[in-house]
Amino acid sequence: MLDLNDVSVFVEVVRAGSFAAAGRRLGIPSNTISRRLQLLEENLGVRLLQRSTRQLNMTAAGREFFDRCAPGIEDIQHAGASLSEGNREPSGVLRVAAPADFFDNFAMEWMAEFMQRYPRVHLEFQLSDERVDLIAEGIDLAFRAGQLPDSSLVARKLGNSHRGLLASPSYLARHGAPESLEALARHDCLAASNTPQAAIWRLEGPQGVESIRVTPRLCINTAQGLLRAARAGLGIALLPMLVASEDLRRGSLVSILPQYQRDISGMYAVYPNRRQLSLAVSALIEFVADKVRHGACNGEQSMEFAVPETQAALA
């Protein structure tokens, strides 16, 4: 009689692509996984996987066995998770992948709010601009921007993000508000010092993409630094609207020439499997979606925040 635990291990190895990755997800050593797969193959009387030093490949019998077993194993796991989580609050360790500048755009105070609301959730952020393999790296959730190619991963669109022109009321009281894109050339501007052409801003407006050469009196290589400089009245900055949402709400920053925007792209929460979504992952997705949505409401009306679910890739 087959051991369903061994079948489940086999399914997880195929999904993960290696013994090591499957072991990280299951919390068991890779040599134990190898031994259990060997017992499964002996019980079935067929070889399921061809092993080499670099990769695993399914045999024809392994492919047929996986296709028949994977849906059933997934249903069992989903049923167990639903029952066990029904009377529990979100908990556990979440490994989250995000761009290197994620916390330039998403306030750390918001993370403090999330962790206070869900004290049993522990977060491990992996910040990098490289697109990691969620399954191989044991990542539960990733936040990404831009167009995502199709795959078996699931992506929920949280909304569209963009950068806009911002200045403080004190700066505008001294210098006045620019009435056109060309007028920016006569204003003090704040630019990113890590941009190769910091003095040229390319923005999308009513006539398409337009460029303007500005005179940056101060250059800073982080969004948070530029935000503080703009708040202090040092000039006009081109900033992510999400990171400036609280200042816009309070009135410490004002949107300038809102018809011009830059870096317009979709924002997505990406995860391996919709049917095994834990309470903790769902809670974090909803929390971030809410902050993004409210950030849009405090920013520009032109931002559209539909939230369909589509199939998308992180690779």
- What are 232-288's pLDDT values in tens digits? 999 999 888 877 877 888 899 999 999 998 876 677 888 886 556 788 999 999 998
Query: Do residues 217 and 237 lie in contact, with contact meaning Cβ atoms separated by under 8 Å?
Result: no
Same domain, 230 and 168: yes
Q: How many CB atoms lie within 10 A of CB 244?
A: 26
Q: What is the pLDDT of residue 44?
A: 87
Decide if pLDDT at 197 tops 60.
Answer: no
Q: How many domains does the chain have?
A: 3
Q: Tell me which of 57, 85, 113 is where a domain ends.
A: 85
Same domain, 145 and 288: yes
Q: What is the pLDDT of residue 294?
A: 67
Range of the structural domain that residue 291 is part of: 92-160+264-311
CATH code, domain with 57? 1.10.10.10
Same domain, 175 and 251: yes
The confidence band for 312, taking pLDDT boundaries of 50, 70 and 90, is very low
CATH code, domain with 286? 3.40.190.10
Phi-psi label, residue 290: left if phi above 0, alpha if psi -120 to 50, beta otherwise = alpha
Q: What is the pLDDT of residue 150?
A: 52
Same domain, 211 and 246: yes
Q: What is the pLDDT of residues 7-52, one digit of tens each?
A: 888 888 888 888 888 888 788 888 888 888 888 888 888 898 887 6
To the nearest whole percent, how much of the chain has pLDDT over 70?
A: 81
Give the separation between CA 183 and CA 213, rounded to whole angstroms: 10
Q: Which residue has the higher pLDDT, 313 or 200?
A: 200
Strand segments, DSSP code E, in the chain are: 49-51, 56-58, 92-98, 121-127, 141-145, 154-167, 188-191, 200-205, 208-213, 215-219, 236-240, 254-256, 262-271, 309-311
CA angle 143, 147, 149 (to 5 degrees): 95
Give the separation between CA 139 and CA 111, rounded to whole angstroms: 18
Give the separation between CA 241 and CA 156, rounded to whole angstroms: 20
Average of pLDDT values for 74-95?
A: 71
Q: What is the pLDDT of residue 242?
A: 74
